[in-house]
Amino acid sequence: MRIELLDQWGDAARKLPGKAQGRRYPGRMRARAVQLAAAARAAGVRQAEVCRRLGIPDVTLSKWMRRVDLVPVEVIAEESPVRLSIGIGHAEVSLDQVAQLLGVRR
Protein backbone atom coordinates (compact mmCIF):
# COMPACT_ATOMS: atom_id res chain seq x y z
CA MET A 1 0.00 0.00 0.00
CA ARG A 2 1.45 3.33 -1.04
CA ILE A 3 0.39 5.87 1.58
CA GLU A 4 0.76 8.68 -0.98
CA LEU A 5 -2.40 7.40 -2.68
CA LEU A 6 -4.37 8.46 0.39
CA ASP A 7 -2.86 11.94 0.16
CA GLN A 8 -3.66 12.14 -3.57
CA TRP A 9 -7.29 11.21 -2.89
CA GLY A 10 -7.45 13.86 -0.15
CA ASP A 11 -6.03 16.51 -2.49
CA ALA A 12 -8.63 15.63 -5.15
CA ALA A 13 -11.40 15.75 -2.54
CA ARG A 14 -10.39 19.22 -1.41
CA LYS A 15 -10.74 20.44 -4.99
CA LEU A 16 -14.40 19.39 -5.20
CA PRO A 17 -16.82 22.30 -5.40
CA GLY A 18 -18.95 23.12 -2.38
CA LYS A 19 -18.28 23.77 1.23
CA ALA A 20 -16.30 21.29 3.31
CA GLN A 21 -19.18 20.19 5.55
CA GLY A 22 -22.02 18.41 3.84
CA ARG A 23 -20.02 17.92 0.64
CA ARG A 24 -21.27 15.17 -1.61
CA TYR A 25 -18.61 12.86 -2.96
CA PRO A 26 -19.22 11.10 -6.29
CA GLY A 27 -19.90 7.37 -5.97
CA ARG A 28 -16.68 6.41 -7.75
CA MET A 29 -14.70 8.61 -5.40
CA ARG A 30 -16.33 7.04 -2.33
CA ALA A 31 -15.63 3.56 -3.69
CA ARG A 32 -11.97 4.45 -4.29
CA ALA A 33 -11.65 5.85 -0.76
CA VAL A 34 -13.05 2.61 0.68
CA GLN A 35 -10.66 0.59 -1.47
CA LEU A 36 -7.67 2.67 -0.39
CA ALA A 37 -8.73 2.59 3.26
CA ALA A 38 -9.13 -1.19 3.24
CA ALA A 39 -5.66 -1.62 1.71
CA ALA A 40 -4.14 0.81 4.22
CA ARG A 41 -5.84 -0.93 7.15
CA ALA A 42 -4.58 -4.31 5.89
CA ALA A 43 -1.07 -2.80 5.81
CA GLY A 44 -1.42 -1.80 9.47
CA VAL A 45 -2.26 1.90 9.11
CA ARG A 46 -4.66 3.09 11.83
CA GLN A 47 -8.08 4.30 10.65
CA ALA A 48 -7.53 7.70 12.27
CA GLU A 49 -4.42 8.16 10.13
CA VAL A 50 -6.26 7.00 7.00
CA CYS A 51 -9.04 9.53 7.64
CA ARG A 52 -6.57 12.32 8.34
CA ARG A 53 -4.81 11.70 5.04
CA LEU A 54 -8.08 11.38 3.11
CA GLY A 55 -9.39 14.54 4.75
CA ILE A 56 -12.71 13.02 5.78
CA PRO A 57 -14.23 12.37 9.21
CA ASP A 58 -13.82 8.91 10.72
CA VAL A 59 -17.59 8.49 10.92
CA THR A 60 -17.93 9.18 7.18
CA LEU A 61 -15.38 6.55 6.21
CA SER A 62 -16.93 4.06 8.64
CA LYS A 63 -20.35 4.64 7.06
CA TRP A 64 -18.98 4.17 3.55
CA MET A 65 -17.22 0.98 4.57
CA ARG A 66 -20.39 -0.45 6.15
CA ARG A 67 -22.31 0.17 2.92
CA VAL A 68 -19.78 -1.90 1.01
CA ASP A 69 -20.41 -4.84 3.35
CA LEU A 70 -24.11 -4.89 2.47
CA VAL A 71 -25.20 -7.49 -0.02
CA PRO A 72 -28.19 -6.70 -2.25
CA VAL A 73 -31.04 -9.17 -1.99
CA GLU A 74 -34.20 -9.70 -3.96
CA VAL A 75 -37.35 -9.91 -1.87
CA ILE A 76 -39.95 -12.25 -3.31
CA ALA A 77 -43.41 -12.06 -1.81
CA GLU A 78 -45.33 -15.20 -1.02
CA GLU A 79 -47.54 -16.15 -3.88
CA SER A 80 -51.12 -15.10 -3.42
CA PRO A 81 -54.00 -14.74 -5.85
CA VAL A 82 -54.10 -11.55 -7.85
CA ARG A 83 -57.53 -9.96 -8.06
CA LEU A 84 -58.36 -8.47 -11.44
CA SER A 85 -61.32 -6.14 -11.79
CA ILE A 86 -62.95 -6.28 -15.18
CA GLY A 87 -66.00 -4.09 -15.56
CA ILE A 88 -68.24 -4.82 -12.61
CA GLY A 89 -66.89 -8.33 -11.93
CA HIS A 90 -63.59 -9.70 -10.75
CA ALA A 91 -61.52 -12.85 -11.12
CA GLU A 92 -58.71 -14.35 -9.07
CA VAL A 93 -55.67 -15.65 -10.94
CA SER A 94 -52.24 -16.82 -9.85
CA LEU A 95 -49.05 -14.97 -10.69
CA ASP A 96 -48.05 -17.95 -12.85
CA GLN A 97 -51.23 -17.52 -14.89
CA VAL A 98 -50.54 -13.80 -15.33
CA ALA A 99 -46.94 -14.54 -16.36
CA GLN A 100 -48.16 -17.16 -18.82
CA LEU A 101 -50.67 -14.72 -20.32
CA LEU A 102 -47.93 -12.09 -20.71
CA GLY A 103 -45.39 -14.60 -22.03
CA VAL A 104 -43.03 -14.02 -19.13
CA ARG A 105 -41.10 -16.82 -17.47
CA ARG A 106 -40.93 -16.88 -13.70
Q: What is d(CA 79, CA 50) in angstroms, rounded to the nearest whole number?
A: 49
Beta bridge partners of residue 93, listed in sequence order = 82
The string of DSSP letters for 10-50 reads HHHHHTSSS-STTPPPPHHHHHHHHHHHHHHHHTT--HHHH
Q: What is the pLDDT of residues 56-67, one digit of tens each?
A: 999 999 988 887
Q: What is the pLDDT of residues 59-104, one digit of tens each?
A: 999 988 887 655 666 666 666 655 655 555 566 667 777 777 777 6
- pLDDT at position 10 is 86
Q: What is d(CA 56, CA 65) in angstroms, rounded to the nearest whole number?
A: 13
Q: Smallest Cα–Cα separation from 11: which of 57, 55, 69?
A: 55
- Can you give the pTM of this predicted structure? 0.56
